[in-house]
Amino acid sequence: MLPPSNASSHSPDAPGSGATVDQWLSYLEAIHPTEIDLGLDRVLVVLRRLFPRKPDARIITVAGTNGKGSAVATIEALLQAAGRTTGAYTSPHLQLYNERVRVKGVDISDADLVRAFEQVESARRQVSLTYFEFGTLAAFVAFAESGVQDWILEVGLGGRLDAVNVLDPDFAIITSVDIDHVAFLGDNREIIGFEKAGILRPGIPAVYGALEAPRSVLQQVNAQKVSLALAGRDYQVTVREVARSVDGNELTSAVLDYGSDHIVLPSGPLPVMSVAAATVAIRQLEPSLSIADIEAVLSDVRVPGRFEQLASSPGVYVDVGHNPHAASWLASRIQAIAGPEQKVHAVYAALADKDVEGVLEVMDPAVDRWYFAGLDVPRGLSCDALKSRAGCLVDSTIERAETVAEALSVALEKAAADDLVIVFGSFFTAAEARTSLLGS
């Protein structure tokens, strides 16, 4: 999750020997005056001190409005099945910062993370780095020290000016382009598409994982002679008819047709188009991996916080979706698994800079009862502010609570054993629900 923007004008002293990860993260929050400061100049200076030459690894960069984490997790699992060693960098995290940096499929240890922070601090000297920029370079250091063969890098915001983009990828994936982060990326798909297409490089292979790519993306593809696999043109994804088991679990699947390949994909809990894009990438990166092995791996890929089931009787799911595009996918998943007699209870908490109205508009038809909660975090909406933003967009009953944990508790009291409870709206929302139910 993004840290609070609380930097002071006086740069603090770096943590000393034996400092903890939390001490380092507090330091990272304080050394740059703004939370988000897009641009590559500062990061490039420090990158060149750390890596005079491009790292000896295959670099796979993933951008997109939604579905990036799912694509990264899918690629990571498939590359490991092919016998490759991987480093995966994602953001934000749910519970622990270490989740952002996975080495050979395992979250980085505190000791290795601190050592990477120390190296970045030594290299940056007087260069001011944001929390995200510092952490991105630390991930690069950790991957280089581990000697992994493939670096899978998730863009934090946009693409063109994101810190991840200081490294030239050997393969690129754009999962989707939709409206989000308007203040930084613009308010229409063409402008946002241009920003995300900034991860492309001349002549490299790439995948675009959604239908109807913006013209701005295709223009960059043509200008740079990128070898693009485009959803709907170069490969097809067909979702099979929905079916359910007796306990209500979804049994549907999808089919990916790519060239002569006919691959069965699970249609949940991850966005099937992101899984498909990652699978198309793997067919190019590791063509020797068999279709049977691919299908076996895909059936087990999960991402914490992505339509993650935390409990049953009633079924409780959490999802980090926070914009209308993600909410539309979430609504479709709910409608796919909800039986005709099941009621859907939705716990919703959001950040102030998100399109609350757009989210509610697409989610309300799938929800029987709402539980609005406040978020006591930077940019978080209070429960009253959320209710005010909702206006007349919600037709069903609304309960209100100060925190996600309180709202979830009320929802569980109201829900019947065979109902569904969905907790969503941000990484903070999902994290609080996971803590409440799982204790960590």
Q: How far apart are CA 116 and CA 139, in angstroms?
A: 7
Q: Is the model's pLDDT at 88 over the cut of 70?
A: yes
Distances (CA, A) of 392 to 216, 365, 374, 402: 36, 13, 19, 21
Among 168, 173, 159, 158, which Cα is nearest to 208's? 173
DSSP state of 249: -
* Encoded tokens for 5: 């923007």
Q: What is the DSSP string of 276-292?
A: HHHHHHHHHH-TTS-HH
Query: Does the bond joining 169 to the residue before it have cis omega, within 30 degrees of 0?
Result: no
> pLDDT tens across 68-83, in order?
999 999 999 999 999 9
Report the pLDDT value the prediction gives residue 381, as an integer from 0 to 100: 95
SS3 letters across 186-215: CCCHHHHHHHHHHHCCCCCEEEECCCCCCH
* Domains of the chain and any CATH numbers: 21-298 (3.40.1190.10), 308-438 (3.90.190.20)
The closest of 123, 7, 74, 431 to 271, measured between CA atoms, is 74
What are the pLDDT digits (tens) for 22-47?
999 999 999 987 877 888 999 999 99
Closest listed residue to residue 122, CA positions, set 49, 19, 52: 49
Average pLDDT, the chain: 92
Residue 2 has pLDDT above 60, yes or no: no
Q: Which residues contact 336 (CB under 8 A, 6 or more apart)?
A: 242, 250, 252, 267, 268
Long-range contacts of 25-33 (CB under 8 A, 24+ apart): 25/97, 25/131, 28/3, 28/117, 28/131, 28/134, 28/135, 29/3, 29/4, 29/131, 30/6, 31/7, 31/128, 31/129, 31/134, 32/7, 32/128, 32/129, 32/130, 32/131, 32/133, 33/7, 33/9, 33/128
DSSP 46-87: HHHHH-SS--SSEEEEEE-SS-HHHHHHHHHHHHHHTT--EE
pLDDT of residue 4: 40
The predicted model scores a pTM of 0.92
Give the integer Cα–Cα distance in Å for 11 and 1: 23
Joined together, the tokens standing for residue 228 give 């693009």
The rounded distance, in Å, linking the Cα atoms of 183 and 18 is 39
Name every residue whose Cβ is closer than 8 Å to that of residue 260 and which is 6 or more positions away in sequence.
none
Lowest pLDDT segment from 13-17, 28-32, 37-41, 390-394: 390-394
pLDDT band at 397 (very low <50, low <70, confident <90, very high): confident
Q: What are phi and psi of 187, to 5 degrees?
A: -115, 15
**318-324-330-332 Cα dihedral, nearest 10 degrees:** 170
β-strand partners of 266: 253
Q: What pLDDT does 279 receive?
A: 98
The first and second tokens of residue 70, run together, are 């799912």
Among 10-14, 247-251, 268-272, 405-409, name the one with the lowest average pLDDT: 247-251
Mean pLDDT in residue range 99-127: 97
- Residues forming beta bridges with residue 88, ordered by sequence position: 102, 152
The whole-number pLDDT of residue 246 equals: 37
The C-alpha atoms of residue 147 and residue 150 are separated, in whole angstroms, by: 9
pLDDT at position 242: 54
**What pLDDT digit, counting tens, does each position of 166-220 carry?**
999 999 999 999 877 666 677 789 999 999 999 999 999 999 999 999 999 999 9
SS3 381: coil
Contact assessment for residue 103 and residue 146, using Cβ atoms and an 8 Å cutoff: yes
Nearest to 374 by CA among 395, 346, 402: 402
- What are the tokens at 429? 């929302």
Structure tokens at 43: 């990061």
pLDDT in tens, 135-177: 999 999 999 999 999 999 999 988 999 999 999 999 999 999 9
Which amino acid is present at 212?
A: E
The model's pLDDT over 209-258, given as tens digits with 9 standing for 90+, comes to 999 999 999 999 999 999 999 999 999 999 875 545 434 454 567 999 99
Burial per residue of 260-287, b for 16 or more beta-carbon CB atoms within 10 angstroms, e otherwise = eeebebbbbbbbbbbbbbbbbbbbebbe
Q: Residue 1: pLDDT above 90?
A: no
